Amino acid sequence: MHTRLSEFVENLVIDRKKLPIGDENDRILRILEPDAVVLCLGIRTPICKANKGSFKSMCSDELLSSVLSEVVKRIPHVPLEALGEVMVGTCLQPGGGQAMARMAAFEAGFPYSVPVATINRQCASGLQAIASVADAIRSQSFRTGNYVQFDSNSTANVASLSIMQKMPSQLVHDTGSHLQCQLAIAAGVESMSTCSFDEGTPIVNWTAVKKSRLAAACMIPMGITSENIAKLYGITRQEMDAYALESHRRADAAQKAGHFEDEILPISDVKIDGGIRSDCTAKSLAALPTVFLPKFGTTTAGNSSQTSDGAAAVLLASEITRQQMNLPLLCVWRHYVVVGTPPEIMGVGPAYAIPALLHKACLTVADIDVFEINEAFASQAIFCVRMLGLDPAKVNPYGGAIALGHPLGCSGTRLVVTCAHYLRRRNLRYGVVSLCVGTGMGAAALIENPAYTAREKKNKQETPSDVHQTSVDHNPRQSKL
């Protein structure tokens, strides 16, 4: 195992003169700086309804190990020992999900030498996992191959000690730069069927919490925050239902056109997302009762995100590592920001995170080709589109969480995977991914398609099967937002 890693890292050399001129690799090398952070590939499971869908009996470790296994299957020439980290976003697992994630990595065949961590930023956990790994890559934190040498008198596990003693000496002692493979996996997972919200009540000093208005507001149910936004900003039930209907229509059209196939990893015989309703109508949505404020509310099960099960994962690397390892290239990770908002209206998060992100990137709304904004509730999604003055045709062109589902820890990673594949398919340049966060935050990330060419975009002819184009022609959101 370790001999293979030693041989592999010794050959991490790139000869730029031997690269073909004028092809996609040449174009990518010219536009990417060597220390850029890139996503080499991204996959996800289908997303299924919690408690009633195809994954209702699957635990988080099973979902997570599935995508981790697939990532490494797609890079068979890279030893698993070259991975510097597996970072997993998850929300509902006991103990922060650390044991679950480590177990999932072992189930996927990862060696013990690959570290695993979990992170929880509520709905943006999967996005935060990518951002944390990207930061570690930029700072060159991963020094693959530098292992601890056990003392011969150590009481360490005999099997582990035996492995260490058989390792090539250069892996134990060598601190040369050729062992700095900046390569890691970020993932997100949630089984909302097997992990309950009811188990997540904070253990705090409630007397102290009640003395702080903001601290107490962190316990406001998410549905009430949706109602607060609808009331404060004059968003009607009819507008929310129309938004939900369009989300299902776009997702259904994308699924039928096969646009999710590149990103979905089938699990057993489950190959498509289970929450999309092709039979959804304005009438059926209007018939649903409000949930959180029965007499005066606007938020229903139909215009809210679905509780769901699913997992997603991406492989990240520095650009120089990607070149040296001959890895594929999906997109470039450019910028990430998180902002705070009032907990009572936590859903406004993207409306404040996206401007901060664009300011950091020196871009404007007009520069962005697609926005993937998590649809926690139709009320907050409508507010964000209005507040930012976004073209509705650019927002969630393949539908959002109202139709696809929202497995909490998975959603941030899933949105990046969907956004990246969309940019490549359409030959577009910039995509923004953003989510609101429970307790009052907003997170947003900017990714770039390195294969984008302005000439190709200008000459590209839209086809009738393109979901984005058809959604512009008949879009009930355009007149309302």
Which amino acids are annotated catalytic?
123, 406, 436
Distances (CA, A) of 338 to 221, 355, 377, 409, 444: 22, 11, 20, 16, 7
Strands of 15-56 (E only): list them. Answer: 37-44, 48-49
Strands of 369-462 (E only): list them. Answer: 370-373, 430-437, 441-448
Nearest-angstrom CA–CA distance, 125 and 103: 19
Query: For 165, how many CA atoms within 13 A lie in the half-sphere containing its CB?
Result: 11
Which among 408, 410, 407, 432 has a CA at the least distance from the CA of 422?
Answer: 432
| Strands 308-318 and 331-340, sheet pairing | unpaired
Distances (CA, A) of 122 to 118, 203, 356, 476, 479: 12, 17, 20, 31, 33
- Residue 33: is it exposed, middle or buried by C-beta count within 10 angstroms (0-12/13-18/19+)? exposed
- Residue 361: is it exposed, middle or buried by C-beta count within 10 angstroms (0-12/13-18/19+)? middle
